[in-house]
Amino acid sequence: MTYLRPLSRQTVTEEALERVKAYILSGKLKEGDQLPTEIQLSKMLGISRNTVREVFIRLQAQGFIEIRRGKGVFLADRSKFYQKVFIDWFHANNVKIQQLLEVRLALEPVTAQIAAGNITDEEIRELEEIHERFKQAIEKGDAEEAVANDERFHLKIFEASRNEMLLFFYNSLMPSLREYRMKVFSPPAQPYIAIPAHEKILDALRARDAARAHQAMLAHIEETKADVIGIARSIESQQRSD
């Protein structure tokens, strides 16, 4: 007979952490709202108060909540939370981000240039549809949908280049690019700057203007690079002054 081991304390803490985090992210609370007390959460989740304390400590470290001694636990300012997530990601991946952008700058402008000479009318229409969905996602603040359509937009240009080696290199970057895109299409980044940039790329491709397509893609990547670095520097400056 196979026996299952009882849950370890670490497993219980992890499960409780995810349940409370899901509650916070459900939208039922707004910034400054008070969370249930230690005793209340202990009863609600069927866990010890020590486990609840561990959960609170970790949620505060992750920027979700603010523990005010003698007053209780409150939902943290989301803007500060987003800033913390962004700057932690930036510091942990600084070299990788720089290298990723260097590769994009090397590959994507020349790919757009080549695509301008090979793209079909059908592919132009597909790009227009993708861009429209991308715009709608940005306007709704739907980062996941924005990421998916930004990915499709750039991939379609690589496919239109008819260059299998360029497409191979781009596909190998996809996992790193997906993580990067999730950050640049979420607060505190400014994802809307990509809308006019994509439109300039589209205009150049419609005109089959290789030089303009190269320049539009180069400017797009340079702009997102400046946005990411600028936001990181702004958050660092704000943290120093706090």
Q: Where are the domains of the chain?
A: 9-76, 81-241
Structural tokens at position 110: 């020349």
Tell me how far the alpha carbon of residue 210 is from its chain's centroid.
Answer: 31
Determine the 3-state secondary structure of 72 from DSSP.
Answer: strand
Point out the residues of the chain with pLDDT beneath 70: 1-10, 242
> What was the pLDDT predicted at 8?
56
> What was the pLDDT predicted at 80?
78
Question: Closest by alpha carbon to 63, among 27, 29, 21?
Answer: 21
What amino acid occupies position 118? N
User: Model pTM?
Assistant: 0.74
The domain defined by 81-241 folds into Four Helix Bundle (Hemerythrin (Met), subunit A) (1.20.120)
CA dihedral angle for residue 141, residue 142, residue 147, residue 149, rounded to 10 degrees: -100
> What was the pLDDT predicted at 222?
97
| Contact status, residue 204 vs residue 112, Cβ threshold 8 Å | yes
> What was the pLDDT predicted at 242?
64
> What was the pLDDT predicted at 9?
59
> What's the Cα-to-Cα distance from 213 to each of 37, 105, 111, 119, 197, rounded to whole Å?
57, 13, 9, 12, 11
Pick the CATH number of 9-76 from 3.30.70.100, 1.10.10.10, 3.40.50.800, 3.30.930.10: 1.10.10.10
Q: What span, in angstroms and rounded, lies between the C-alpha atoms of 98 and 180? A: 11
Kindly give, in sequence order, each residue whose CB lies less than 8 Å from that of residue 71, ignoring residues fewer than 6 positions away: none
> What was the pLDDT predicted at 240?
83
Q: Strand 72-75 and strand 65-68: pairing? A: antiparallel
| Residue 191 DSSP code | G
